[in-house]
Structure 1
Amino acid sequence: MNFVTQYNCWNEAQRVNATQVFLATDKQEDARVIVVAFRGTETFNTFDWITDIDFSWHKLENLGRVHVGFLEALGLGSRNNQETFAELQRKLLEPPASRGPSISGMSGNIRSTKLLAHDVVTQKLKELTQTHKDAKIYITGHSLGGALACLYSALLYHSKESELADKIGGVYTFGQPRVGNDEFVNFYNEKLTQPVNRYFRVVYNDDLVPRIPFDDEVSGFKHAGICRYFNSFYTGQLLVEVPNKNYFSIFYYLPMTVSAIWELLYNTMILPFVHGDDYFETKTSTLFRILGVIFPGVGSHSPVNYVNSIRLGTSPKHLW
C-alpha cells in the first residue's frame, strides 16, 4: 500500500484531538483502491470507551436517530452546544455546490483552526478521486473506528456527495458498536446493501462492543446489514444478530467467562505453537485477555481476534 496521509482531528465535546484517520492507496499512480481507515477504541483511553458506551442520540432529518458521540467524533457537532446540530442539519440539506468546503456543524472559528474528521476526509477524497479516476473507496475501522466508518459512509449519501458515494467499493467494520435506530438502518441498507452488498460487519465471539448501545425498546439502536460472526474456534457464520445481542443477560455470564478463559489459553499458549511465531501476542494483548476473564466480553474485543478471524477463520456460509 501507498501511504497518503494521516489526520489527528478535533472533537469539540472532548476538547482534544481524539479522532485519528489515515488514507492509503494501492499504488502511487493510477490507483484502483483508496482506503480510509478510522482509528478504533484505544485500550486505555477513557474518552474512547465513554464514547462507545454512550446512549445519547440526535435525530437527523431523512436519516434517523444517530449516536451523538459518533457525530462528535466526526466533527459534526457538540452536545455542549445544541446549536451546532441545528446548523449541521441545515447544511446537510443544502446542495453540495452551495454549502462550501465544509458541512460541519461547528462555528466558523473552530472550522478554520481545528481539523474536523468529516471535512478533511471528504476534501481529501475529492482530490484523490480526481487524481485516481478509476479508484474505488474502501472505508474501514475497528470498534469506534468501525462506527465512524459506518456513519461516514451513510453521510456521504445523506449529504448527496454522490460522486464519492458512488465510488464506495466496500465498508468493512470489525467489532463495531451500533450507530443508529431502525430508520438509520433502513437508509443504510438501501444505500449500501442493495442491490449489491458493500457492507461487511465482522463480529468475534463475545465481543462486548458490538452489543452496545442496546437494541431494546428504551435505547432503540440497531445494526445494519448481516453479521459475519466468528466464534472462539474462528468458525464463521452469517447471522442476522449475534447471540446475547445486548450483553446484559445473566444466563450468558458463566458461558462467557468459560469462553474468556479458553481464549486466554488458546491464543497465548496453543495458537503460536500450531501456526507459528506470527501468532505470539504482546504483553498488552495478554493483559487484555486476562482482564476479559474478570469482565467477560472485553477480551474478545481485541483487534488480534479480528486479524486471526480473517487469517484463520472459515468462510461464513450459513444464515441463521
Structure 2
Amino acid sequence: MNETSMNSSSVTIQVPLQFVVTVSVGTPVLSQSPAQVVSRRDLPFELEGQATPLLPAIDTATFHRDALAQSTFTWKAAQSLALASKLAYETDDAVNSTCVTGTRNWGFESCEFIDVDDTQCFVALTSEFALVSFRGTESRGDWLRNINVPGRTRDYGVVHRGFLGAFQAVESRLRSALSEIGDRKLIVTGHSLGGALATVIAAEWQAFLPAAWVVTFGQPAAGSGSFRMFFVQHYGGRFFRFVNDDDIVPRVPPGYEHVGRLLHFDSRGRLRNGASLPSSEQESVSSMQQESISAGPPMLTEAEYRSLQSQIGQEVIRVNRSLTESQRAPQMEGLFPSISDHNLDTYISKIVANSGG
C-alpha cells in the first residue's frame, strides 16, 4: 500500500459553526517518497491546534490478526479494524488478495466480498472470529446532503431509515456468508456510513448473533429514543466509536444520537477526556471501565444542517458531477471541515501512533 498525497485545487468553505476552513478537492496521486513513521511523542508542542500535524504513514501499519482474537480491545486491535475499514473501499480482487490469496495476506481462511444496491462489505473468517467490514459511500456521493430522513421504529428503538435499508439490502448475503460461524466471535467495523451500518447490524442481530465488538471510525449517528439504552444494556464495554478532532460527519444527522464508548482524538492524536486503551492483553482495563463517557461533539442543529446541505448542493453544481467518499476519488471529503479530519488515513495514522505500529 503506497502513501497517498493530494494534487488538487483549493476551495474555501464557511460553515456556520464558528470556523472557516480551506480544503482540497482533486484526484489522489501516489507519492514516490518512502514513508516515515513519526511517534506522537516526537511531535512538537507548537503543533497543537493545527489541522495536519506530522503523523505515521499508514503504509507501514501492520494488521494484527492475533489482536482481534483476544478478549481485550487494544490499540493493535483498533489499528487492525481501521485497516479493515480502509480495505472495504477496495475492489473485490484486492479484498480477497489482502485477506487470503496474496503473498503477504492477513491470514484469513476465507473471504467474501458483498455488493448489493450500493451497499458493500466483506466477510472474512479465521478459526477464532468472523470479521464484517462495511464500506463508506461510493456512488452516492451526496449522501450527506440527504441524510436527514425520518427514522423507523424497531424493537430496540428508532433507527435511521436509510441506514436500515442499506443494511437490509445485504442482510441475506451476510447471513449466508456467516451461516457456518459456529462459536466464532463476530466483529463488525466500518468508516463513515460503513460505521453506521456496523451499528445497525449490531442492533438488528443482537438476539441471535450479537457482535463481540463493534468498532467505528467517523460514523454518523444512527438512532434515537431507546436506541442508546439498548446499546448500553447489550453492548456495554463492546462498542468503540472513534472520532477525529473536528470531523463533522459524527455531528449529523440532527435529531439522532450516538451510542458506544467515545474515543475522541485531538489534533495531535491524543485521546480527549482522559480516555485510554490498553496496549496489550496483559494490561489492566480497570481504568477504562471506570471512565466517564463523554457524549462527544454536539450534533448539528437543523439550521446548521440546512446550511451545510446548501453548500454541498452548490459544490455539486460547481464541479458538475456526483461527489464520492471512496478512497480512490475522495471529492466529497473536500466538503468537510477539515478534509484531514474525516479522512480514514488520518484516523489510521493517529491509531498507529498510539499502538506503536
After TM superposition, is the score higher than 0.5? yes
Alignment of 1:307 with 2:348, yes or no, is: yes
Aligned AA (1:154) = A
- Partner residue of 2:116? 9
Q: Cα offset for 1:58?
A: 3.1
Paired with 2:201 and 2:341, the residues of 1 have a C-alpha distance of 25
Alignment of 1:188 with 2:288, yes or no, is: no
Query: Secondary structure at the residue paired with 1:228?
Result: strand
- Partner residue of 1:35? 131
Query: Secondary structure at the residue paired with 1:201?
Result: strand
Alignment of 1:126 with 2:169, yes or no, is: no
- 1:1-320 matched pairs, under 5 angstroms: 1-2=107-108, 3-10=110-117, 18-26=118-126, 31-42=127-138, 45=139, 47-50=140-143, 53-75=146-168, 116-127=169-180, 129-130=181-182, 133=183, 135-157=184-206, 160-161=207-208, 164-165=209-210, 168-193=211-236, 197-214=237-254, 219=255, 221-237=256-272, 238=275, 239-246=293-300, 291=334, 295-313=336-354
TM (normalized to structure 1)?
Answer: 0.58
Q: 1:283 to 1:22 in 2, by over 3 A?
A: closer
- Identify, as 1 or 2, the structure richer in helix: 1
Aligned AA (2:230) = F
Q: Cα offset for 1:236?
A: 1.1
TM (normalized to structure 2)?
Answer: 0.53
8 A contact 1:208–1:247 mirrored in 2: no
Q: Cα offset for 1:51?
A: 5.8
Structure 1: gaps spanning 5 or more residues: 11-17, 76-115, 251-281, 316-320
Q: 1:309 to 1:66 in 2, by over 3 A?
A: same
Q: Cα offset for 1:302?
A: 0.6
Q: 1:124 to 1:59 in 2, by over 3 A?
A: same
Q: 1:300 to 1:249 in 2, by over 3 A?
A: farther
Paired with 1:71 and 1:154, the residues of 2 have a C-alpha distance of 10
Q: Cα offset for 1:33?
A: 1.7
Q: Relative contact order (alpha carbons < 8 A, sep ≥ 6): 1 or 2 greater?
A: 2
CA RMSD, aligned part only?
Answer: 2.8
Paired with 1:148 and 1:200, the residues of 2 have a C-alpha distance of 14
Paired with 2:120 and 2:328, the residues of 1 have a C-alpha distance of 24
Structure 2: gaps spanning 5 or more residues: 1-106, 276-292, 305-326
